[in-house]
Structure 1
Amino acid sequence: MQDRVHGTVMPVLDITLNPGETVCAESGELSWMSASIQMTTSTQGAGSSGVFGALKRSLSGGTFFMTNYTAVNQPGSVSFAAHLPGQIFPVDVAPQPGYGFLAHRRSYVAGTTGVTLTTGFQQRLGAGVFGGEGFLLQRIGGQGRAWVQLSGEIVPYDLQPGQVIRAHPGHIGMFQDTVQFGITTVPGIRNKLFGGDGIFLAELTGPGRVWLQSLPIDRLAHSLTPYLPQNEGGRSGLFSN
């Protein structure tokens, strides 16, 4: 099995499989594939063996169905394009501290058959935050290789034991499972009411690596709102006087 990432701003992950090799991706992720690749879609995959496991996976921000892509009789390739400007990169996963990861929901692209995908953290942060869905993290575990996509530029931090970094939750891309994670509030009443940075902050405590992303999806959506069609008369803010 070989993998290659094409492009820069809107990358494409291309995975070349030898006969009999399989990668598992969430449903709807496929961009293109060669004729020798066989697709099998079911509730199984990414560590779940039935409907109950698929339901737990969907609650973590994943999809209810997973698709296995297997090379049959001859080598083949399958490709997955990024949803947003950003980066796609691999991580090697193992059942030992530091080789499991927690990642923002919908960051998982694909993984080998031994990789599992479950709920890592879930907390509601109030109406209007992240579309009212709350804050979700997916736990990427098991054994094998996984590929993740994070949006915007990626800034990694290697935290020492006890070292703390606080960030807007949307900037949390991924971190090693040795990092302690929690949600705190912005200090000070004036900061909460007038700071303009929201009420909640994610707090991460080392040791371990943290990957922060510069383009949270909620901020991108907020930036695009003035240019979307308006309800009145179907006029768009982009072309209105």
Structure 2
Amino acid sequence: MEFATFILAAQRGYHQSSESVIRNSIEQAVASEQAGFNTAWFAEHHFNNYSLIPSPLMMVAHCAGLTSTIRLGTAVCVLPLYQPQRLLSEIGFADIVANGRLELGVGLGYQQFEFERFGVDIDEAPAVFSEYLDIILKGLNQNVFEHDGQYEKIPPTAISVRTVQQPTPPIWIAGGAARMARAYREGHNFFVTAFHDGLETLTTLRESVERAAASEEKNVTDVKISLLRCCYASHDELE
């Protein structure tokens, strides 16, 4: 079992400046390495104070220069909000400056408020995510790739900024049962979330994972699974 921190960079009140929130989040990543955590994960959100990280890859690139051993991950890059060809180069750049410590988490997003302001139809997010992940995998695995899909048509294209980790950084997928099944089918890792509830929720999650693995004739342990839970750090056990 490995332990990681999930850095949301939430602005708890408007008395906090965006600068102070972001600098505190960077300090959390450095402290995570000092405390022995395996990975620091960075969220992506837009246009509200729930999270002030618009680009988790930028956080990875910055924190790479302040750390040396901890792995740095995106949790997640919301693929339908990106231009996939550009994202491929940014993935390569982040992995280079992190000396091969990038963990690439991708997801389809869920906040309609964000999608509306980017002019993206959230109802199409699952299909867009699936196609964009196809493009990302092509670009990471092939020196020259092309794509003819519903949402993107890309002529033969070379991504010049290549990842240090070959053929790809570890890829993590967020989402429901269909995306769990794809993770097992293609050998990717995936995220599941159970913020507050007890063992009943974990039991339900376990059953979903088992069904996804069985649907692809895989073992549950064939990929890594990241479980996101809330905890409270204090010097006082009573708290």
Q: Which has the higher contact order (CA 8 A, sep 6+)?
A: 1
TM-score normalised by the chain length of structure 1 = 0.27
Q: Which has the higher helix share?
A: 2
Q: Which has the higher strand share?
A: 1
**Rg: which structure is higher?**
1
